[in-house]
Amino acid sequence: MEFSRRQTMQIAAAVGAAALSAPNIARAATPKLVVVGGGTGGASVAKYVAAAAKGAVDVTLVERNPLYMTCYFSNLYLGDHWDFDRLAHNYEAMKAVHGVNVVHAHAQSVGDGAVTLSDGSTLAYDRAVVAPGIDFKYELYEGFDEEIASTLVPHAYKSGNQLLLLKQQIMGMEDGGTVVIATPPNPYRCPPGPYERASMIAGWLSKHKPASKVLILDPKSKHSKQGLFTEAWNRLYPGMVEWVGGDFTGGALPVVDAKNRTVITADDEEFEADVLNFIPAQKAGQIAIDSGLTGDGDWASVDPMTLESTLVPGVHVLGDACANGDMPKSGFSANSQAKVCAQAVMAAMTGKKAFPPRFRNTCWSLVGDDYGIKVGANYKAGDGKIEKTDGFISQTNEDDATHAATAAEGFGWYEAMTSDIFG
Amino acid sequence: MLVALMASACFAEDITDAEAVLRADGTPGDPEYGAYLAQECAACHLAESTSAVPSIAGIEPGYFRMAMAEYGSRIRENAAMENVARSLGDEELAALAAYFATNQH
């Protein structure tokens, strides 16, 4: 396939507009890229730009934490399939191998050629990338906030300390107890995540507290990989996992009685838990909102050719924080978007040739010992959004060997993905 | 070339490295485009791997094109790789092969 005239013109127009919006490029000796957020999307774009630029772009990565804990594979820790420490990744190779200037600080806003940090200092940029991941819409709930999530009712949806808290609560639960997972409305990070979590918790309970239950309260009337998860639960954990969908919850879970670990649905039904994992509705990370990147919505609108904001020129947004069209919010997606973004940034800052953007997502979920399922798709830059072109999903009634091969493939993916970002 | 590729899809016959870097019209693929495309491979394939996802470091261009043809025709079965193969046209396959021929990956 040759690139179409339309594609060539789109890229030329995108890069041309980008170059015009970089006011310092003519006078700066080395153009400056500042990346805010050292998660999967941000760290990937910092590494790929630094590797391609070989010193021709000054790359700074601003990240609050000295270690990044992946959200993907955090469910596997709950199921004793992965060590907590192996979720953590550092920025040493980013600095030593790729020459990225890593600043551990809290960025508060981005715009007008500078990133402002919480101590009031600024980092000047010719171009910026904002990849803050998600924040939670606590304002939608009565009786639930960040303090409660940190101490009593963990969402555990950003890995880290709340993940430890959730596992401690499950391990401390009496046999015969009920773990309630309250899932978020769409769109949210990692669509299969809550259901993989239910699988991992059920797997752990079946070995250690086999009279216990996992109850999934869902504001949605269907969910990711539903047929595959349901098949696995019936087969591996018969009678242990129950899913209550949006038709019964009234489509919302607005009230949390944290002290009594009880969720009250929109239909005024009360569900009491012994361990409550409440995952709230989500929005782009706060800095994207505070910097005007989300407009009146929850997510940052971007040009699918370049991931550049449609609202703030010279600032790209990628990963979970962007309105990513047909792509799911996932680590794989963020890494894929980062590679498209990196070449757009290189084209804008150095004139390097850019190729038509290509996007892909693949998502492996572990549901039991040697039992994996997967879904994936290819995407293109469509008319105003990232569009799905084709995809695949595991089949029901797959044999044991296929489930085992898919599980093993997922473990291989994690090693490669984290090496691609942090290696 | 086309005949060779079609044959490989059915009978997994060898494709030479010299053939593999060419587009269907006989012109060489663009290794720079191949370098961009190969970034996608790094999401799942390690340079040195002991996992279920094999290393593709040092993969030979002819073997690469034969493998892609086999995923495309489901002689090799893996839904994720079949999805990858579907996304690669003649231009992309020649570009990746040309990039792999540089041995810089």
Residue B10 has a pLDDT of 46
Q: Give the gap in angstroms from C-alpha B79 to the nearest C-alpha of chain A.
A: 7
- B91 in reach of chain A (CB within 8 A): yes
**A146, A273: one domain:** yes
Boundary (domain end) residue, out of A260, A280, A300? A280
- Using CB atoms, which residue from A1, A394, A411 is nearest to B51? A411
Structure-block tokens of residue A30: 């080395």
B87 to A391: CB separation less than 8 angstroms, yes or no:
no
For residues B75-101, b (16+ Cβ closer than 10 Å) or e, as one string?
ebebbbbbbbbbbbebbbbbbbbbbbb
Closest CA to A361 of A343, A347, A380: A380
Closest CA to A132 of A71, A189, A185, A63: A63
Closest CA to A344 of A352, A336, A334: A352
The answer to whether residue A417 sits within a structural domain is: no
User: CA A62, CA A116: separation in Å to the nearest integer?
Assistant: 11
The answer to whether residue A10 sits within a structural domain is: yes
Domain containing A207 equals 141-280
- Using CB atoms, which residue from B83, B84, B89 is nearest to A1? B89
**A69, A158: one domain:** no
Boundary (domain end) residue, out of A319, A339, A356? A356
Residues A388-411 pLDDT 10s: 999 999 999 999 999 999 999 999
Residues A95-118 pLDDT 10s: 999 999 999 999 999 999 999 999
Residue B49 has a pLDDT of 84
Beta strands in A265-340 (DSSP E): 270-272, 275-278, 282-284, 315-317
The answer to whether residue A64 sits within a structural domain is: yes
For residues A142 and A254, the answer to whether their CB atoms sit within 8 Å is: yes
- Tell me: pLDDT of A349 over 90: yes
**A85, A64: one domain:** yes
For residues A192 and A158, the answer to whether their CB atoms sit within 8 Å is: no
Strands A241-244 and A213-217: parallel
Percent of chain A at pLDDT exceeding 70: 93
Max CA-CA distance within chain B? 38
Structure-block tokens of residue B88: 């690669």
**A199, A311: one domain:** no
Provide the mean pLDDT of chain A: 94
**A80, A36: one domain:** yes
- A340 in reach of chain B (CB within 8 A): no
User: CA A265, CA A415: separation in Å to the nearest integer?
Assistant: 40
- Tell me: pLDDT of A3 over 70: no
Phi, psi of A26 (to 5 degrees): -75, -35
User: Counting Cβ atoms within 10 Å, is residue B50 exposed (0-12), middle (13-18) or buried (19+)?
Assistant: exposed
Looking at domain B2-102, which of 1.10.12.10, 3.40.50.11540, 1.10.760.10, 3.90.1570.10 is its CATH number?
Answer: 1.10.760.10
**A211, A145: one domain:** yes
Three-point CA angle B99, B100, B101, nearest 5° = 90
User: CA B68, CA B8: separation in Å to the nearest integer?
Assistant: 10
**A59, A9: one domain:** no
Question: How sure is the predictor about A1, in pLDDT bands with cuts at 50, 70 and 90?
Answer: very low
Q: Give the gap in angstroms from C-alpha A419 to the nearest C-alpha of chain B.
A: 7
User: CA B28, CA A65: separation in Å to the nearest integer?
Assistant: 46
Indicate if the alpha-carbon torsion angle A350, A354, A357, A359 is positive or negative.
Answer: negative
Question: How sure is the predictor about A38, in pLDDT bands with cuts at 50, 70 and 90?
Answer: very high
Residue B47 has a pLDDT of 86
DSSP bridge pairs for A365: A373
Place of tokens 């010992």: A369
Strands A127-130 and A282-284: unpaired
**A132, A150: one domain:** no
User: CA A73, CA A411: separation in Å to the nearest integer?
Assistant: 9
Residue ranges of A 87-116 with Cβ closer than 8 A to chain B = none
User: How many domains, in total, are found in chain A?
Assistant: 3
Strands A88-90 and A67-69: antiparallel
Q: Give the gap in angstroms from C-alpha B62 to the nearest C-alpha of chain A.
A: 20
Question: How sure is the predictor about A173, in pLDDT bands with cuts at 50, 70 and 90?
Answer: very high
A360 to B87: CB separation less than 8 angstroms, yes or no:
yes
**A9, A44: one domain:** no
Number of Cβ pairs < 8 A linking chain A and chain B = 85
* CB-CB neighbors (< 8 A) of A420 in chain B: 42-43
A1 to B91: CB separation less than 8 angstroms, yes or no:
yes
Query: Would you kindly state where each structural domain of chain B is located, as residue ranges?
Result: 2-102
User: Counting Cβ atoms within 10 Å, is residue A142 exposed (0-12), middle (13-18) or buried (19+)?
Assistant: exposed
Q: Give the gap in angstroms from C-alpha B2 to the nearest C-alpha of chain A.
A: 14
Q: CATH number of the domain that A64 lies in?
A: 3.50.50.60
DSSP 8-class letter at A168: H
- Tell me: pLDDT of A203 over 90: yes
For residues B88 and B96, the answer to whether their CB atoms sit within 8 Å is: yes
The answer to whether residue A121 sits within a structural domain is: yes
**A149, A266: one domain:** yes
Residues B20-79 pLDDT 10s: 999 999 999 999 999 999 999 999 999 888 899 999 998 999 999 999 999 999 999 999
Residues A119-137 pLDDT 10s: 999 999 999 999 999 999 9
Structure-block tokens of residue A416: 């490669």
Cβ neighbours for A84, distance < 8 A, ≥ 6 positions apart: A77, A163, A164
Residue A285, sorted as left (phi over 0), alpha (psi -120 to 50) or beta, turns out to be beta
Percent of chain A at pLDDT exceeding 90: 93
The answer to whether residue A221 sits within a structural domain is: yes
Report pTM. 0.93
**A158, A273: one domain:** yes
Structure-block tokens of residue A317: 């947004």
**A163, A264: one domain:** yes
Question: How sure is the predictor about B1, in pLDDT bands with cuts at 50, 70 and 90?
Answer: very low
Residue B105 has a pLDDT of 59
- A146 in reach of chain B (CB within 8 A): no
